[in-house]
């Protein structure tokens, strides 16, 4: 990641301060760093145009509510994000990561945030290998134990990164988490789409997963092309028997799955290309 522009903000983001992205900006007692106590989003920027801006901001506000953080002023955050995006117009493809931290454990409890623009790495070429891993929770954990923050996009990513390392140990690129009662959830940083017969399906957010902004846009593309889509629970057996699979994320788009738990499976190059073209055509 090559940082290009950095704005520091408070919870309202009403008075951003631009600083050098190469200079120190956080104290060693900042809760974002010491406890991962905060939230974030990452938006793809195409020639200075942020993709799915409002969907990401709405998810940002949702995560803030789940963590009892001050409600972010979304219009103000949008203005700062756009200011950073304007600085990235020279790049065909970039990204903006914006963060809200609870504050400083040394005594200053005021929230702190920042908006960082950087050149994003190229999308992974070709299909990916995926393994299923047990997340260790039932599918109703979001209702029974909301303090576990399932479905919030927090800075506490150690478990997600551990899952990706386990995937690599198994010769795979990525992970699909499953619940202890046998339902498909999401990837560490992606949403699952499966084609089951003539319908493209994705799991519902009430299973304690993030609302997928790229998955949503992919469904818009598919529906416009006349394909049926549905949000419903998907069992592990259905996942393994699906006609085709994709993992969707903002920075990667829709990546076709060529292997699941070591078993080779068919991919649908036409649908993958259709989704990619539609995602690239987004304006906001």
Q: How far apart are CA 57 and CA 232, in angstroms?
A: 24
**CATH class of residue range 128-280:** alpha beta
Q: Does the structure show a pLDDT above 70 at 193?
A: yes
The predicted structure's pLDDT at residue 126 = 73
Half-sphere exposure of residue 163, counting CA atoms within 13 Å on the CB side?
A: 21
Q: What is the CA radius of gyration of the chain?
A: 19
* Tens digit of each residue's pLDDT (9 = 90 or more) over 30-58: 999 999 999 999 999 998 999 999 999 99
Q: What are 16's two structure tokens? A: 């951003």
The CATH number given to 2-119 is 3.30.470.10
Give ranges for CATH 3.30.470.10 in the chain. Answer: 2-119
Q: Does the structure show a pLDDT above 80 at 135?
A: yes
Q: How far apart are CA 47 and CA 60, in angstroms?
A: 23
Phi, psi torsion values for 86, nearest 5 degrees: -60, -30
Give 20's pLDDT tier (boundaries 50, 70, 90): very high
β-bridge mates for residue 278, sequence order: none
Q: Does the structure show a pLDDT above 70 at 122?
A: no
Q: How far apart are CA 165 and CA 122, in angstroms?
A: 20
Q: How far apart are CA 130 and CA 115, in angstroms?
A: 31
Give ranges for CATH 3.20.10.10 in the chain. Answer: 128-280
């Amino acid at each position: 990641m090559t940082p290009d522009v950095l704005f520091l903000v408070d919870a309202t983001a009403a008075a951003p301060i631009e600083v050098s992205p190469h200079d120190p900006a956080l104290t060693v007692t900042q809760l974002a760093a010491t406890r991962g106590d905060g939230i974030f989003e990452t938006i793809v920027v195409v020639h200075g145009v942020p993709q799915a801006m409002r969907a990401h901001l709405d998810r940002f506000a949702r995560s803030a509510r789940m963590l009892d953080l001050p409600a972010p002023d979304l219009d103000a955050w949008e203005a700062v994000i756009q200011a950073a995006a304007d600085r990235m117009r020279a790049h065909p493809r970039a990204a903006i990561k914006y963060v809200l931290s609870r504050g400083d454990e040394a005594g200053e409890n005021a929230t702190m945030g920042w908006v960082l623009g950087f050149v994003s790495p190229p999308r992974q070429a070709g299909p990916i290998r995926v393994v299923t891993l047990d997340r260790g929770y039932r599918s109703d954990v979001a209702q029974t134990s909301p303090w576990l923050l399932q479905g919030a996009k927090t800075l506490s990513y150690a478990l997600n990164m551990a899952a990706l390392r386990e995937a690599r140990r198994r010769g795979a690129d990525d992970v699909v988490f499953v619940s202890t009662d046998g339902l498909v959830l999401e990837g560490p940083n992606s949403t699952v789409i499966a084609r089951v017969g003539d319908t493209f399906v994705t799991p519902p957010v009430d299973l304690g997963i993030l609302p997928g902004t790229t998955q949503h846009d992919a469904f818009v593309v598919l529906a416009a092309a006349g394909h049926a889509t549905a949000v419903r629970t998907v069992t592990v057996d259905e996942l393994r028997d699906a006609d085709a699979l994709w993992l969707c994320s903002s920075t990667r788009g829709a990546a076709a799955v060529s292997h699941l738990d070591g078993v080779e499976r068919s991919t649908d190059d036409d649908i993958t290309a259709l989704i990619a073209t539609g995602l690239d055509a987004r304006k906001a």
